[in-house]
Structure 1
Amino acid sequence: MEGDRTFPQQQQQLSAPPSPALQKPPGYKDPTGSPAPATPSRPPPRPAKKPPLPPAFRKKSKRSCCRCCCCCLLFIFLFILVAAIVLAGVSGAVYLWYRPSLPVFHLQSLKARDFDVVVGPDGATVSADVAAKVQATNSNEKVELHYGTTRCKVVEPGGVGLGEATAPGFLQGSGNVTVMGFTTTVRRLEVDDEVGQRLKKGVATKALALGVELRTTVGIQAGKVRTGRVQVLVACGPVPLRRLDAGDTPKCNIRVFNWFTLP
């Protein structure tokens, strides 16, 4: 047609998508000698972090444990030291105020009644009743003494025991004098012939010497304050019976805790 204009058709060339690169077989070598491009490697994955433990489950360092132990030991040492200083101060003040002292003991009397010694062909036997009196004096002006049970034993210097007796405990007031009485009994005690002869002669001539041992406990009481009792051993004699019959009252020795003896 004449009235129509013809326009050249523009051919649009559509670009085809690039083909993927061919994978080279393993062991292939490039003839040109150029090195094959290196395949990028991925970094190794990082290990997963552990969740933090609560404070109660965390391990404590050895240094902190040692520090805690040293602090505890130091605190205990200081506490004991302060307690000892306070106790020593209180005890010293009480002692200076009251000035307590142990009682004084005297053997007041010792009588052998029905003392019988039988010497036979089979040996000797001893039978006797011994009455002993021990005087206890509390010389403290502000302190009372409380005694526990007292055990009395009468002995002969050769080692022959003539029985034991006990007396109940009691409270002794300040400046008080108390006499404790004991009666010991022994029946048909077998002894050697030599000992039997010596005892028989001593009874007849009043030259027989006997001793008294007291084992007791003594404590201090000042007002409403009362201390514990300590062990006391009282040793009287041995003393000849005729000396006691003449009115002599020898002083007894006191041993405290079996450590030291007081005359």
Structure 2
Amino acid sequence: MADNAQVHPEQGKRKSSMDNNESERSRSVVIKFPKDQILREAPSMENHHHGRKNPTRRRSKFCCCFAWFFGSVLSIVVMLLIIAGILYLVFTPRLPNFSVERLETRSFNFSRDSGLSSEFYIAVLDKNRNSKIGIYYKEDNSLGFSYSGVELCSGSFPGFYQGHGNVTLLETSLIGSNVPFSEELYLGVVSEENEKRVPLEISINMPVRIKAGLLKLPKMTVRVRCSIIVSGLSANQESQIESLNCKVKKNVF
């Protein structure tokens, strides 16, 4: 009887379904984490990079600042050059002329022991060739006589203002005491004096300030170098000027 028992098809289906569910549950694994370890939201890459400084943007700002600074300096330099060019065209500055008008030897004493002591009087003519520029000559100027590279004496001119187109006669004395001077050089002076051709070098350094209209320019130095040949250096006697060549230069600094 038992072997002949039949199973209802619906019951068979239910049984196979239950068996399949149990087999699926046996294959799946459930892992549980504590709540504090669960990541609710993954950090985005945009938020991650937002906290960092961008080196490219920083270099770009530096380049912009440098370009602005360089452009400003270049603009100022160009403007100054334009202003200087306009002033030059308006005033047409020219260096003054210098010439030696008179030279007198007041003393010229040589000793093998004490060297050379001398005193000269000189008159220099200074002509301002500018029609729109005045010149302030400062007191800290210098004047010197030299023979064969040895300075014999020195002096200076008083400070003064020279108006445009003016001519000024500058007079002063030059004094030298116990200047090292060899007997060979002294004999050379005597020999050249016999020929009435004694060569001397005159150096003049004149700090000046230029006045162009209401504008006063910074101080510069006018340098005068004169090669002069005189008839002699006898004491208490005016020396005849046989030859004279003066060159004038300026030094801004």
Q: TM-score of the superposition, structure 1-length normalised?
A: 0.70
2:46 corresponds in structure 1 to none
Q: Mean Cα displacement is larger for which, 246-255 or 100-109?
A: 246-255
1:168-222 Cα shifts (integer Å, max 9, x gaps) = 3321101111122232212233322211222234456643222210112233212
Where does residue 154 of structure 1 map in the other structure? 145
Alignment partner of 1:40 out of 31, 43, 59: 31
Partners of 1:236 and 1:181 in 2: CA distance: 16
* Alignment match of 2:162 (pick from 143, 167, 172): 172
1:250 and 2:244 correspond: yes
Map of 2:171 onto structure 1: 181
Is residue 115–residue 126 contact of structure 1 (8 Å, CA) maintained in 2? yes
Deviation at 1:166, TM superposition (A): 2.1
Give me the whole-angstrom Cα distance separating, in 2, the residues matched to 1:107 and 1:37.
122
Alignment size in residue pairs:
216
Structure 2: 5+ residue stretches without partners:
1-24, 44-50, 233-237
Q: Is the 8 A contact 1:111 1:241 kept in 2?
A: no
Alpha carbons of 1:258 and 1:221: their partners in 2 closer, same or farther (altered >3 Å)?
closer
Q: Any conservation in 1 of the 2:108–2:118 contact (CA below 8 Å)?
A: yes
Question: How many percent of aligned residue pairs carry the same amino acid?
Answer: 22
Deviation at 1:144, TM superposition (A): 0.8
Alpha-carbon distance, 1:146 to partner: 1.7
Q: Is contact 1:142-1:174 (8 Å) kept?
A: yes
Return 5+ residue gaps in structure 1 as ranges.
Answer: 1-33, 51-57
* Alpha-carbon separation, structure 2, partners of 1:248 and 1:140: 29
Say whether 1:141 aligns with 2:134: no
TM-score, normalising length from structure 2?
Answer: 0.72
CA RMSD of aligned residues (A): 3.3
